[in-house]
């Protein structure tokens, strides 16, 4: 299933500090002539993790390519031009690996974990799996999975999409990472092949290895063009936060699910603001104890907000209004003690995530593809969190509470409008 | 010599046995040992359709090159009508050697390669065989 973006956000913040290499965390990065980025970090653990990420998320779809990122993700693991998908997956299983494909609004990530000694076989399998041929009969076979994904959407994901539509309107970030419920039929395979040919290319690709040798990984990808090159580089369409909007959908439910967010720091902006956003999110979670706060930075914009599900009765409207007002005035809750506590919690979260190699590989891969193009060790980011001042966090909290967007699903008559709060 | 020349419609078709003897035998069999020419058919129109490999190849042909699938359907329809009436085409309209395109060959080759790789790797049955077993 799609990864929870709020979980990814912590490590996205982790990966956007200034470009200093910490010796405690041996992080290396290089860019090949084809545009492919190869990065690795060696934690001296026995299991290696490899992630190949492409800028192929739903924000890169054009208007006629709705749902293609979802279809591409579900088609991964199929045949490539040279090898059969079943053979590749079986060989991956023979070295103890499971292949995971994740797609969010910005990137599609293929990842695999295997013992260190199998690094070359793992890399060749993963790079071949990352170039699917997408023939018509394979897409037919994965149609059922599309329908199943759409049917099993959680309420949070539904409301999150409504919120993005309100926040980003018709911009690229407002596109749904999944197919719409009325678009789960078959699609022209040649169009999907065109989408893959334009997005699954070396210039839009980052390879990250955890517990692999950097030199070997770099020479592996340099000697042969495993990932095809594309001469025409399309500029990424910018998606700006609009806000002041609401997307409300009546649902057949006795409850209501609401997501409210304001503009947060972006991955392409200042790294300090990103870290401050993570700290502000931690503070917001303490303030809004009955909601769950999410923090989602994207390349050129971001969201910081909260999500709440409740039954719909006489008190719901007042409770939601109260939560919205607390979020609007989050800046006043940012004081010295709150910031100190939040800094500690944020550092623990960042450094804990760095311990898990598989998650580290995926999060580093998506941060390499972010516009800052700097790779930062988690210990760098922890140091950055330490250096934040109360004013940095106040600034982010103020901006988040300034211009809100709302998405609501269920008994929406119990949800107040934003200008009534 | 007709048997030594590759049919114009089958330019990219690769056979496993393609020497002079094989080509001669293929030509002679197609001319004299197969009865589809007089009905205007291609050889792969009369391939045994219920075989799982051929069913899958036809399904892939329909998805990838639906115009060939439609043309095949038309040829079979006219041939069936002729056979029902006990007629054949006039000799000038019979399928010629250079019109013969072995259109299912690429798909059948791919399916055979998949079968081989499946046996070598996991042994898991493909989706289309699983479905036919379930029925």
B115 interfaces chain A, CB cutoff of 8 Å: no
ipTM value: 0.78
A134: left (phi over 0), alpha (psi -120 to 50) or beta: left
B64 interfaces chain A, CB cutoff of 8 Å: yes
Distance from CA of B54 to the nearest CA of A (A): 14
Query: What is the radius of gyration, based on Cα positions, of chain A?
Result: 21
- Concatenating the DSSP letter of every residue in A389-404 gives -HHHHHHHHHHHHHS-
Contacts for B126-133 with beta carbons within 8 Å, 24 or more apart?
Answer: B126/B56, B127/A141, B128/B52, B128/B55, B128/B56, B128/B59, B129/B52, B132/B52
Whether B124 contacts A84, CB under 8 Å? no
Q: How far apart are CA A158 and CA A150, in angstroms?
A: 10
Unique residue bearing structure tokens 């800094």: A343
Stretch(es) of chain A classified as CATH 3.30.830.10: 11-223, 246-420
In chain A, the N- to C-terminal Cα span, in Å, equals 35
Task: Burial-class residue A54 by CB neighbours within 10 Å (0-12, 13-18, 19+).
Answer: buried
- Which range is least confidently modeled, A207-216, A347-356, B13-22, B83-92? A347-356
Which residues are within 8 A (CB) of A234 and not within 5 positions of it... i.e. 6 or more apart? A198
- β-sheet with A205-210: strand ranges across: A27-31, A37-41, A205-210, A47-54, A108-115, A99-103
pLDDT for position A243: 83
In chain B, the N- to C-terminal Cα span, in Å, equals 49
Contacts of A189 in chain B (CB under 8 A): 63-64
Picking from A86, A137, A141, the nearest residue to B118 by CB comes out as A86
CATH class of A11-223: alpha beta
Give the DSSP H/E element, type plus range, for residue A338.
helix A336-355
Distance from CA of B49 to the nearest CA of A (A): 18
Q: Which of B107, B121, B124 is the best mutation test for A, with the most CBs of A within 10 A? A: B121
A260: left (phi over 0), alpha (psi -120 to 50) or beta: beta
Per residue in B71-81, pLDDT (tens digit) is: 999 999 999 99
Beta strand spans in A123-230 (E): 205-210
Residue, of B54 and B132, whose pLDDT is higher: B54
Q: Which of B52, B63, B109, B114 is the best mutation test for A, with the most CBs of A within 10 A? A: B63
Architecture of domain A246-420: 2-Layer Sandwich (3.30)
Tokens of A103: 């797609």
pLDDT for position A22: 44
Chain B residue with CA closest to A186: the answer is B63
Alpha helices in A171-301 (DSSP H): 189-199, 214-223, 271-287
Contacts of B120 in chain A (CB under 8 A): 87
Chain B residue with CA closest to A137: the answer is B60
Q: Are A136 and B64 inside 8 Å of each other by CB?
A: yes
Per residue in B26-70, pLDDT (tens digit) is: 999 999 999 999 999 999 999 999 999 999 999 999 999 999 999
Decide: helix, strand or coil at residue A53. strand
- Is the pLDDT at B127 greater than 80? The verdict is no
- Scan residues 44-63 of B and list those with Cβ closer than 8 Å to A: 56, 59-60, 63
Where chain A has pLDDT below 50, the residues are: 1-23
Picking from B56, B64, B122, the nearest residue to A86 by CB comes out as B122
Q: Which of B56, B67, B117 is the best mutation test for A, with the most CBs of A within 10 A? A: B117
Decide: helix, strand or coil at residue A275. helix
Whether A66 contacts A187, CB under 8 Å? no
Q: Are A90 and B121 inside 8 Å of each other by CB?
A: yes
Picking from A90, A135, A141, the nearest residue to B122 by CB comes out as A90
- Of A295, A384, A395, A297, give the one whose Cα is nearest residue A18: A384
Q: How far is CA A327 from CA A16, A153, A259, A301, in A?
A: 25, 27, 12, 19
For chain B, domains (ranges, CATH) are 12-134 (1.10.1090.10)
pLDDT for position B67: 97
């Amino acid at each position: 299933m799609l990864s929870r973006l709020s979980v990814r956000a912590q490590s996205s913040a982790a990966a956007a500090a200034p470009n200093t290499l910490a010796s405690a965390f041996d992080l290396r990065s290089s860019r090949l002539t084809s545009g492919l980025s190869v990065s690795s970090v060696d934690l001296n653990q026995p299991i290696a993790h490899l992630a190949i990420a492409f800028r192929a998320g739903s924000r890169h779809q054009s208007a006629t390519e709705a749902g293609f990122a979802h279809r591409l993700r579900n088609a991964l693991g199929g045949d490539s031009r040279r090898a059969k998908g079943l053979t590749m997956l079986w060989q991956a299983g023979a070295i103890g690996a499971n292949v995971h494909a994740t797609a969010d609004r910005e990137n599609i990530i293929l990842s695999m974990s295997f013992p260190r000694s199998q690094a070359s076989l793992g890399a060749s399998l993963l790079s071949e799996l990352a170039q699917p041929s997408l023939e018509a009969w394979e897409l037919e076979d994965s149609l059922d999975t599309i329908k199943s994904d759409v049917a099993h959407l959680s309420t949070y994901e539904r409301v999150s999409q409504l919120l993005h539509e309100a926040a980003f309107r018709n911009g690229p970030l407002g596109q749904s990472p999944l197919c719409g419920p009325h678009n789960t039929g078959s699609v022209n395979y040649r169009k999907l092949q065109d989408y893959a040919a334009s997005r699954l290319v070396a210039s839009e690709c980052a390879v990250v290895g955890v517990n692999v040798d950097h030199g070997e990984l770099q020479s592996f990808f340099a000697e042969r063009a495993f990932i095809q090159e594309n001469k025409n580089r399309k500029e990424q369409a910018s998606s700006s936060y609009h806000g002041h909007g609401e997307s409300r959908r009546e649902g057949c439910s006795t409850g209501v699910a609401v997501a409210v967010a304001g503009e947060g720091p972006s991955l392409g902006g200042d790294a300090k603001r990103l870290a401050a956003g993570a700290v502000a999110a931690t503070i917001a979670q303490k303030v809004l104890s009955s909601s769950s706060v999410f923090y989602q930075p994207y390349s050129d914009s971001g969201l910081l907000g909260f999500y709440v599900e409740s039954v719909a009765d006489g008190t719901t409207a007042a409770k939601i209004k109260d939560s919205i007002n607390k979020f609007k005035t989050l800046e006043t809750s940012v004081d010295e003690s709150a910031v100190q506590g939040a800094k500690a919690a944020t550092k623990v979260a960042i450094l804990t995530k760095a311990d898990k190699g598989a998650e580290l590989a995926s999060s580093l891969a998506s941060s390499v593809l972010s516009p800052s193009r700097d790779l930062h060790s988690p210990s760098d980011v922890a140091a950055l969190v330490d250096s934040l001042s109360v004013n940095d966090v106040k600034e982010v909290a103020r901006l988040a509470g300034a211009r809100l967007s709302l998405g609501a699903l269920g008994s929406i008559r119990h949800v107040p409008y934003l200008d009534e709060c | 010599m007709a048997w030594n020349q590759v049919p114009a419609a089958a330019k990219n078709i690769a056979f496993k046995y393609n020497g002079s003897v094989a080509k001669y035998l293929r030509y002679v069999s197609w001319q004299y040992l197969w009865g589809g020419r007089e009905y205007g058919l291609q050889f792969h129109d009369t391939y045994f359709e219920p075989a799982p490999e051929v069913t899958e190849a036809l399904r892939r042909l329909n998805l990838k090159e639906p115009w060939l699938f439609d043309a095949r359907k038309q040829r079979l329809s006219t041939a069936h009508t002729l056979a029902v009436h006990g007629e054949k085409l006039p000799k000038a309209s019979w399928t010629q050697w250079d019109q013969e395109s072995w259109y299912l060959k690429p798909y059948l080759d791919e399916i055979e390669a998949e079968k081989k790789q499946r046996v070598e790797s996991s042994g898991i049955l493909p989706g289309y065989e699983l479905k036919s077993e379930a029925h």
